[in-house]
Amino acid sequence: VDDVLQTLEFVDHHCHGVTSLNGGVPAFEQRLTESREPMPFNQRYADTSLGHALLAICAGVLDFLEKPRMEDYVERRQELGEAEVARRFLSAAGLSAMVVDTGFACEETSPADLGTLAGCPSYVVHRVETIAEEILLRGGDRFVQDLSVELTSAAASGVGFKSILAYRGGLEQLTGRPAEAEIERACSQLADGRLGLADPVLIRHVLYETLEVASQRGLPIQFHVGYGDSDLLLSSANPLHLEGFIREAMDRDVPIVLLHSYPFHREAGILASVYPNVFFDIGLAIPHVGFEGQRILAEALEVAPFAKLLYSSDAAHLPEFFYLASRLFRRAAGAVFGRWVAEKWLSQADARRVLEMIGSTNARRVYAGMGSA
Ligand SMILES: [Zn+2]
């Protein structure tokens, strides 16, 4: 299993851009948390499973022979420069393709730049809330028509859609397609300048319209579920809220991809086992759970079919995350699959096949626009 994992190439199906740090140790450590606030009592976000895993695993790429102190690590980063640090970590991540969500941390690096750094093709998913908000910024008096046109044109340049509904009032809002009259009423209020995307009717319309276009174009829809920063209410990010929408998507043959999942990776796994159109990942959890990722991976695979789990890093801002996620996933997979082979639940050949599925072939099936390798 370890031999397979050393050379296994991943399709990173959910990641973002890298940005310059513009700061020292405090700025670096703030990148290691989803919190927007500094730690109280001068404690440190680097003093976590993630922080120690990062120093232990990333040190070698920056030429340290052993785990350095955070201060020395950040100094070495500055010595090498942002561009060289990004080149080293992305090229060492072992990726065969990447799918970039440009809605976050992509101000300095385009998907093409990231692909060049990682030495693999890159593809794009379009955030539907961003598309809708841009229309509203232009005035929005032809919101329904413009949305349909913009979603169709986005479908032509991307391999899927992404929704951050969890950050726009919560997943429980997806209670069904709004009636024509409701949409008209919301749009007329929009023309008065009174409503924005916070309106539950409009946000529902955006998602069901996305479902329509995704169905016509054969594209998947990704949803942020679970762990994220303090802009979302975690209880509103439980993927179980999506069950009604998932059923409608199933009737239209639209894959639904649950991103991050943790701490609802078991719920996500159950949805993936029950609905043929549901896929999920544990990106962000790995790397954020640091050196204990094997338990999360084993839990994610408790009932989920092996064809339903996808690899992702959810890397953003720090290039380290591309590499760290890749190394920690290999480590977690080595522990889980190594044990399964040792206990003779899986043969070596089974393990190789399943790891290749999770690493890349599952993603290539979901994102048909990528083509097979
Ligand atoms: Zn993300």
Residue percentage of the chain with pLDDT more than 90: 84
CA 31 to ligand 1 center in whole angstroms: 14
CA 3 to ligand 1 center in whole angstroms: 30
Residue 83 sits at φ, ψ, to 5 deg, of -65, -45
Q: State the Cα angle at 142 between 140 and 145, rounded to 5°.
A: 125
pLDDT at 258 over 80: yes
CA 180 to ligand 1 center in whole angstroms: 33
Structure token digits, residue 234: 């975690």
CA 320 to ligand 1 center in whole angstroms: 15
CA 67 to ligand 1 center in whole angstroms: 28
pLDDT per residue as tens digits for the range 126-157: 999 999 999 988 887 899 999 999 999 999 99
pLDDT per residue as tens digits for the range 178-233: 999 999 999 888 877 777 788 899 999 999 999 999 999 999 999 999 998 888 89
pLDDT at 37 over 60: yes
Calpha distance 295→286 (Å, rounded) = 11
Q: Say if CB 32 and CB 46 are below 8 A apart.
A: yes
pLDDT at 373 over 60: no
CA 209 to ligand 1 center in whole angstroms: 22
CA 104 to ligand 1 center in whole angstroms: 7
CA 48 to ligand 1 center in whole angstroms: 21
pLDDT at 234 over 70: yes
CA 346 to ligand 1 center in whole angstroms: 32
CA 340 to ligand 1 center in whole angstroms: 31
pLDDT of residue 96: 98
pLDDT of residue 67: 97
- Provide DSSP, 70-107: HHHHHHHHHHH-HHHHHHHHHHTS-EEEEEEETTSS-S
CA 316 to ligand 1 center in whole angstroms: 7
CA 105 to ligand 1 center in whole angstroms: 9
Residue range 55-74: average pLDDT?
97
pLDDT at 43 over 90: no
CA 213 to ligand 1 center in whole angstroms: 22
CA 63 to ligand 1 center in whole angstroms: 29
Structure token digits, residue 273: 């086992």
CA 12 to ligand 1 center in whole angstroms: 11
Calpha distance 321→290 (Å, rounded) = 11
CA 313 to ligand 1 center in whole angstroms: 8
Non-local CB neighbours of 224 within 8 Å, separated by 6+ positions: 162, 163, 164, 165, 166, 167, 232, 237, 259, 260
CA 101 to ligand 1 center in whole angstroms: 7
Burial of 304 (0-12, 13-18, 19+ CB in 10 A): buried
CA 16 to ligand 1 center in whole angstroms: 6
pTM above 0.75, yes or no: yes
CA 298 to ligand 1 center in whole angstroms: 22
Residue percentage of the chain with pLDDT more than 70: 99
Radius of gyration of the chain (CA): 21
CA 347 to ligand 1 center in whole angstroms: 34
Structure token digits, residue 361: 């072939």
Tell me the pLDDT of the chain averaged across its residues: 94
CA 306 to ligand 1 center in whole angstroms: 23
pLDDT per residue as tens digits for the range 266-319: 999 999 999 999 999 999 899 999 999 999 999 999 999 999 999 999 999 999
The residues that bridge with 126 in the sheet, in sequence order, are 161
